[in-house]
RNA sequence: GGAGGGAUCGCACAGUGGCCGAGUGCGCCCGCCUGCUAAGCGGGUGGGGGGCUAAAAGCCCCCUCGCGGGUUCGAAUCCCGCUCCCUCCGCCA
């Protein structure tokens, strides 16, 4: 949510931001509704002010009238005066009724319109419309060369018996999968290792519920826009997380953080659920896009002036995971047209998947500036007694499990179809160095 | 699932229709007093919004007693609905 103050004072800035994003938004209507809202506010408050004064005097007169010590004539005079005031007050209340309804309507409309404006892109975000305008900022690692045509992960997985697509369909339908044996174990190792990895870099581990109230989705910016992409329990109005970002944002919803509590860094492992709309006939093979997946998410609450450097650090933390795993990857700065609604700047991190022959988005790191914080009402004080200010929030995957698994399997595949386990994961797999077919060995104690 | 109790300015509570324009204690801040500290004394102490002003400072006003409706000239207070918390019983990984 943008600051209404900004829209009032600098509508040109907002208009220009919309153009850069190639986004349509009802800015003119918003400005007009805001003007109306302020007009109604003024009218309503003027009347309320008079009514409050009358009420006060009516109260005083009532006490006088009921006081037997007071002279009868004076009490009668007070009675007349009171009747006049009550009549006037009654009239004002009548007038208010209509005005308050108008005010409320304007307010609701204003809020509705405000929710339709996306965040202002950071000046450093390249201008552009689509994927082709994204900027590859840097690349790490050379794609491995193979003496044979590298296999895609679904072939490797089938050969190794670690991903069971049929079982996924049997249990839950298409775009679900079952990990078996070394596959399940490898994912679990990745999760544990990544949590430890980020904790060691200063993030605090959090385990939130996977089901959250509708309010979290509204305040987190997911409703109403993304309702059709999420799963929900209708009976209780509980929503399944599409990403831990929702839960982590809401952790400090409606709070004023005390001086000295920033920055706050969180790392959370959660399942993520997405009701993706898969285009019929354009099959996405393997586990690249699924309805349920695991993700280790990074999240930061920081002071406004630090958010850009915090974004760079966040990207670095996500990249460090891939470096440690030895997976070639590149960092892509999204152009204005590709930016998410809440983001002022976003870097995607893409891992090279030699078998699939494509760069896979394994992480998306965004600086949401004060946009998300304003909507979720997350503020902080610089000093005791200082005015509360909105924090800046940042989020990024660190990393998403299925695509990390894809990249790992495809990069570390051997000619015979076995897959080498990257060194950092071995302690989490009781020292296991290679995954071979039908590998169901029990973990050493 | 059943029964009952509760939600008030950081915390603990008071307040059952107009003297509440929300009070008391604690905490916190400022000052006074004081070898130091503690105590004592005095003052202050939430959030949101609108307006005046070139702007800041400042001033005026409105809203905010869990949330939303209603009754009333007037609601923290009365009525209805909802949410959350607590206690007990039942059930249960």
How far is residue A437's CA from residue A37's CA, in Å, rounded to a whole number?
Answer: 68
What domains appear along chain A, each with residue ranges and CATH number?
A: 4-114 (1.10.287.40), 131-435 (3.30.930.10)
The stretch A105-115 carries a mean pLDDT of 91
Closest CA to A190 of A413, A400, A431, A433: A400
pTM metric for this prediction: 0.93
Per-residue pLDDT at A352 = 97
pLDDT, tens digit, 9 for 90 and up, residues A218-274? 988 898 888 999 999 888 888 999 999 999 999 999 888 888 889 999 999 999 999
How long is chain A? 445
pLDDT at A127 over 80: yes
Return the pLDDT at A56: 86
Those residues with Cβ within 8 angstroms of residue A15's Cβ, 6 or more apart along the chain or in another chain: A27
Please report which confidence band the pLDDT of residue A442 belongs to, taking 50, 70 and 90 as the band edges. low
The pLDDT confidence band at residue A128, using thresholds 50, 70 and 90, is very high
Helix (H) / strand (E) element for A323: namely: helix A307-325
Confidence band of A433 (pLDDT split at 50, 70, 90) = very high
What confidence score (pLDDT) does residue A303 get? 94
Distance between CA atoms of A25 and A116, rounded to whole angstroms?
6
pLDDT at A326 over 70: yes
Report, as residue numbers or ranges, the catalytic residues of A.
274, 289, 361, 364, 403
- pLDDT tops 70 at residue A439: no
Distance A46 CA to B29 C1' (A): 35
Nearest nucleotide (C1') to alpha carbon of A93: B73
- pLDDT band of A30, cuts 50, 70, 90: very high
Q: How far is the CA of A326 from the C1' of B7 (A)?
A: 54
Residues facing strand B, Cβ within 7 A: A 4-5, 38, 41-42, 44-46, 48-49, 51-56, 58-60, 62-63, 86, 89-90, 92-93, 104, 256, 379, 384, 387-388
- A282 pLDDT above the threshold of 80: no
Return d(Cα A418, Cα A437) in angstroms, integer: 7
Closest CA to A275 of A201, A371, A174, A171: A174
Q: How far is the CA of A39 from the C1' of B37 (A)?
A: 58
- For A188-223, the pLDDT digits (tens) are 999 999 999 999 999 999 999 999 988 899 988 898
The nt closest to A56 (CA vs C1′) is B18
Q: Which residue has the higher pLDDT, A183 or A440?
A: A183
pLDDT value, residue A75: 87
* Å: A213 CA to B91 C1': 25
Indicate the average pLDDT of chain A. Answer: 92
> What backbone phi and psi angles, to 5 degrees, belong to A209?
-65, 150
Across the range A429-443, mean pLDDT stands at 80
Cα→Cα distances A180→A38, A171, A443, Å: 61, 14, 14
pLDDT of residue A445: 44
- Using alpha carbons only, how large is chain A's radius of gyration in Å? 29
CA atoms within 13 A on the CB side of A208: 30
Of A54 and A347, more confident: A347
Q: What is the mean pLDDT of residues A436-440?
A: 75
Residue (of A157, A144, A143, A145) closest to A417 by Cα position: A157
Smallest CA-to-CA distance from A412 within A293, A328, A318, A317 is with A328
Please give the nucleotide, over all strands, whose C1' is closest to the CA of residue A44. Answer: B62
Please determine, for residue A162, whether its predicted confidence score (pLDDT) is greater than 70. yes
Residue A338 sits at the vertex; the CA angle it makes with A325 and A277, to the nearest 5 degrees, is 80
User: Taking the C1' atom of B63, which residue's CA lies nearest?
Assistant: A45
Cβ atoms of A353 and A153 closer than 8 Å: yes
Tell me, in Å, how far CA of A9 is from C1' of B50? 16
Q: Which residue has the higher pLDDT, A249 or A282?
A: A249
Separation between Cα atoms, residue A353 and residue A157, nearest integer Å: 14
What is the interface pTM, i.e. ipTM, of the complex?
0.87
Averaged pLDDT for residues A1-17: 93
Q: What is the pLDDT of residues A293-312, one digit of tens each?
A: 999 999 999 999 999 999 99
Token pair recorded at residue A264 = 């706050």
Question: Alpha-carbon distance A338 to A135, whole Å?
Answer: 11
Q: Which nucleotide is nearest to A90 (CA to C1')?
A: B73
Positions of chain B reached by protein Cβ under 7 A: 18-19, 21, 28-29, 47-51, 61-63, 69, 73-74
Q: What is the Cα–Cα distance from A242 to A230, expressed in whole angstroms?
A: 6
CA distance linking residue A442 with residue A429, whole number of Å: 10
């Amino acid at each position: 949510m943008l600051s209404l103050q900004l829209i009032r004072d600098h509508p040109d800035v907002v208009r220009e931001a919309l153009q850069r994003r190639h986004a349509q938004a009802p800015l003119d209507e918003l400005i007009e509704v805001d003007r109306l809202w302020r007009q109604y506010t003024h009218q309503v408050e003027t009347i309320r002010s008079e009514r409050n004064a009358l009420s006060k005097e009516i109260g005083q007169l009532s006490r006088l009238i009921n006081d037997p010590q007071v002279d009868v004539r004076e009490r009668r005079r007070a009675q007349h005066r009171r009747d006049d005031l009550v009549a006037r007050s009654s009239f004002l209340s009548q007038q208010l009724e209509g005005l308050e309804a108008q005010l409320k309507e304007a307010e609701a409309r204003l809020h509705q319109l405000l929710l339709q404006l996306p965040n202002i892109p950071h000046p450093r975000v390249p201008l552009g419309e689509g994927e082709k305008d994204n900027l590859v900022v840097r690349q790490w690692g050379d794609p491995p060369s193979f003496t044979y045509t590298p296999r895609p992960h679904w072939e490797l997985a089938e050969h190794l018996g670690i991903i069971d697509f049929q079982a996924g369909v049997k249990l839950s339908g298409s775009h679900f999968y079952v990990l078996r044996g070394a596959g399940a174990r490898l994912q679990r190792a990745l999760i544990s290792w990544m949590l430890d990895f980020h904790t060691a870099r200063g993030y605090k581990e959090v385990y939130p519920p996977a089901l959250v109230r509708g309010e979290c989705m509204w305040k987190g910016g997911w409703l109403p826009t993304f309702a059709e992409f999420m799963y929900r329990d209708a009976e209780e109005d509980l929503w399944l997380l599409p990403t831990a970002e929702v839960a982590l944002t809401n952790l400090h919803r409606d709070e004023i953080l005390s001086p000295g509590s920033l920055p706050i860094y969180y790392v959370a492992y959660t399942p993520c659920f997405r009701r993706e709309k898969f285009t019929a006939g354009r099959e996405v093979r393997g586990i690249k896009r699924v309805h349920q997946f695991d993700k280790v998410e990074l999240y930061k609450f920081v002071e406004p002036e630090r958010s850009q450097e915090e974004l760079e650090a966040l990207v670095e933390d996500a990249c460090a995971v891939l470096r440690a795993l030895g997976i070639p990857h590149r960092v892509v700065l999204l152009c204005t047209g590709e930016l998410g609604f809440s983001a002022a700047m976003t870097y995607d991190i893409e891992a090279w998947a030699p078998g699939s022959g494509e760069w896979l988005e394994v992480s998306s790191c965004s600086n949401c500036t004060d946009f998300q914080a304003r909507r979720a009402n997350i503020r902080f004080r610089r000093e005791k007694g200082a005015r509360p200010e909105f924090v800046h929030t940042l989020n990024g995957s660190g990393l998403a499990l299925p695509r990390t698994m894809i990249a790992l399997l495809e990069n570390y595949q051997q000619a015979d179809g076995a897959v080498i386990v990257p060194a950092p994961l071995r302690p989490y797999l009781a020292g296991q160095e290679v995954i071979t077919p039908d590998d169901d060995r029990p973990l050493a104690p």
